[in-house]
Structure 1
Amino acid sequence: MAVKKGSKKETVNEAEDTVADNMAENVEATEVGVEDAAETDEAQCSYFIDMNWYQDNDRSFTMLTASRLCPSSQKKKIPKSETALLKTIADCCSKQEDYITPNMPLLEMVFRLFLANSNQPMNLGRIQEELQQWLSASAEPRDVSIPKLKRILDNDRYYGLRPIPLDEDDDARISPQSD
């Protein structure tokens, strides 16, 4: 059946096409919005170095952390307490230009960020921002996207990095012990 230009049937078909196009655009926008919202939620997920993890895994936080001291701090008496080590790194070592370098593994960089911040919990958005600052002078681009950071941190089996449970406020796991 031929449809005359300007007929009611043509107008109805155009209206249906317009509605279908608008619905498709709304679905696309909703899908993008859901992805953005999920990434925003992920960015708010906070992590910390779980001090209990070291005890549970027969590892030494002090030994692992002492090996991240800068040369000038290594020449001094190495602090024995977790608190003193974190303070030394935050006050001195993290100020060194080579404290975090682009050729380090990403998880090592993140661990050093927590050391530099005295193991204060940080969300993925802040971790991403700080990594981008450290990597800004690098000629080689690095993927520090929120989903990649989340995947790497969630699979850590070496540094004791753990997410903060939303229903738990356990300062004993976060706070370093001072001797």
Structure 2
Amino acid sequence: MRKTIGILVLAFMGCSHAYARDGFEKVRCDGDIAKALIGPASNETVMAIEARHKDLKLKDLGASDYGRFSSITWSICGREFMVLEENRRNIVRDALELPAHSDTTPAFEGTCKLNGKPMPEYVVGTLREESGKDELQAVTAWKVDEKAIKFVKMPTDGLLCSRDGIVKTSP
């Protein structure tokens, strides 16, 4: 009986350790952060995850839900990353280090037109600010492949994006 209880206690301790896995345990500031983010994620509160990873200066910068997946932006080690997380399974399918952005090259996520035609895909990147224009030229861009839940780098020639998608974040 004691042996059975001991085994159960050890099993419970092992499970509680597994529960603490949150997708950031492999992340190191001097490593490939985007690659380390891919894999199982946690559905714990953001506050609990941030508190556990103070060494990474981890900060949640916001998220958008697209039904089958969510895009979540994090500040990690002073840099900005966006992950695509499959909602039903809590698995990060892809991660991208976002390029530096500012008032003159703001961050963007939303819809765009390619050579005047609306694109069906969701686009992430940076834009070139031009006062008085509703659509701005993309400087960097990745479309989101919704089937694979992956970022796909795309050329920016002829890519105009709505000013409405400008994201105000700061790490």
TM-score by length of 1: 0.24
Larger Rg: 1
Per the normalisation by structure 2, the TM-score is 0.25
Query: RCO higher in 1 or 2 (8 Å CA, sep ≥ 6)?
Result: 1
